[in-house]
Amino acid sequence: MKLIASARVHAQKTAIIEGLTKWSYKELLEGSEKFSSCLLKSSNNLRGERIAFMVDPGFDYVKVEWAIWRAGGVAVPLCLTHPLPSLQYVLEDTAASIIVVSPQYQSILKEYASDNNIRLITTVETTAENQALPVIDRSDPALILYTSGTTNKPKGVVLTHANLEAQMENLIEAWKWSADDHTLCVLPLHHVHGIVNVIGCSMLAGATCEFIPNFSAEKIFALFLENRINVFMAVPTIYYKLITYWETLGEAEQKSLYASLKKFRLLVCGSAALPVSTMEKWERISGHTLLERYGMTEIGMAISNPYDGERRAGFVGIPLPNVEVRLVDEQFQDIPAGEQGEILVKGENVFKEYWGKPEETKKEFTSDGWFKTGDVAIKENNYYRIVGRSSVDIIKSGGYKISALEIEEVLRNHEWIKDCAVAGIPDDEWGELVVAAVEATEGFDASIINQWIRERMPAYRTPKRYLVVESLPRNAMGKVVKNDVKKLFT
Binding-site size, ligand AMP (CB under 6 A): 18
Query: Is residue 396 at the binding interface for ligand AMP, with CB under 6 A as the rule?
Result: yes
Interface region with ligand MLC, contact rule CB under 6 A, candidates 19-27, 127-135, 221-229, 393-401: 393-401
What is the Cα–Cα distance from 292 to 202, expressed in whole angstroms?
Answer: 18
- Segment 406-445, which members bind ligand MLC (CB under 6 A)? 430, 433
Would you count residue 464 as binding ligand MLC (CB under 6 A)?
yes
Q: Which amino acid is at 332?
A: F
> Does residue number 296 form part of the binding site for ligand AMP (CB under 6 A)?
yes
What phi and psi, each to the nearest 5 degrees, are found at residue 197? -70, -40
Regarding 379 and contact with ligand AMP (CB under 6 A), the answer is: no
Give least dist CB 171 to ligand MLC, A: 11
Choose one: 4-12, 94-102, 184-192, 366-374; the region binding ligand MLC (CB under 6 A): 184-192
Q: What whole-number distance in Å separates Cα of residue 408 and Cα of residue 448?
A: 16
Binding-site member from 317, 399, 424, 463 for ligand MLC (CB under 6 A): 399
CA distance 31 to 71: 13
Establish if 188 lies at the interface with ligand MLC (CB under 6 A).
yes
SS3 at position 162 = helix
Query: What letters, b where the CB count within 10 A reaches 16 and e where it falls short, cover 346-355?
Result: bbbbbbbbbb
Do 213 and 189 contact (CB within 8 A), yes or no? no
Q: Which lies closer to ligand AMP via its Cβ, residue 160 or residue 373?
A: 373
Residue 238 interacting with ligand MLC (CB under 6 A): yes
Tell me the CA end-to-end span of the chain in Å, nearest whole number. Answer: 51
Q: Which is nearer to ligand AMP, 145 or 421 (CB)?
A: 145
Q: Binding of ligand AMP at residue 383 (CB under 6 A)? A: no
Taking contact as CB under 6 A, which single stretch among the options 244-252, 294-302, 324-332, 468-476 is the one that binds ligand AMP? 294-302
Query: Which residue among 348, 460, 467, 481 contacts ligand MLC (CB under 6 A)?
Result: 460
Would you count residue 270 as binding ligand AMP (CB under 6 A)? yes
Task: For helices 217-224 and 251-262, give the axis angle rounded to 10 degrees.
Answer: 60
Q: How far is the CB of 60 from ligand AMP (least distance, A)?
A: 24
In the list ligand AMP, ligand MLC, none, the entry touching 237 (Cβ below 5 to 8 angstroms by class) is ligand MLC
**Applying CB under 6 A, does 271 fall inside the site for ligand MLC?**
yes
Beta bridge partners of 426: 432
Piece of 55-63, 90-98, 292-300, 362-370 that binds ligand AMP (CB under 6 A): 292-300
Residue 37 interacting with ligand MLC (CB under 6 A): no
Nearest to 69 by CA among 21, 12, 5: 5
Outline where 263-355 has alpha helix (H): 276-286
In 3-state terms, what secondary structure has residue 435? strand
Contacts of 277 (CB under 8 A, 6+ apart): 428
- Residue 188 binds which of ligand MLC, ligand AMP, none (CB < 5-8 A, kind-dependent): ligand MLC
Distance CA 419, CA 200 (A): 43
* Local structure of residue 2 (DSSP, 8 states): H
Question: Min. distance of Cβ 399 from ligand MLC in angstroms?
Answer: 3
Least distance in angstroms from the C-beta of 247 to ligand AMP = 24
Taking the C-alpha atoms of residue 463 and residue 454, their distance in angstroms, rounded to an integer, is 10
With CB under 6 A as the contact rule, which of the stretches 88-96, 118-126, 226-234, 264-272 interacts with ligand AMP?
A: 264-272
In whole angstroms, how close is the CB of 272 to ligand AMP at the nearest point? 5
> What's the chain's length in residues?
490
Apex CA 260: angle with CA 257 and CA 266, to 5°?
A: 115
Burial class for 40, CB neighbours closer than 10 Å (0-12, 13-18, 19+) = buried
Residues linked to residue 263 through DSSP beta bridges, in sequence order: none
Decide: is 398 part of the binding site for ligand MLC (CB under 6 A): yes
φ and ψ of 416, to 5 deg:
-80, -15
Q: 401, 461, 482, 486: which one contacts ligand AMP (CB under 6 A)?
A: 401
Residues binding ligand MLC (CB under 6 A): 187-188, 191-194, 214-215, 235, 237-238, 270-271, 295-297, 397-400, 430, 433, 459-460, 464
Residues binding ligand AMP (CB under 6 A): 147, 192, 270-273, 292, 294-297, 316, 373, 375, 386, 389, 396, 401
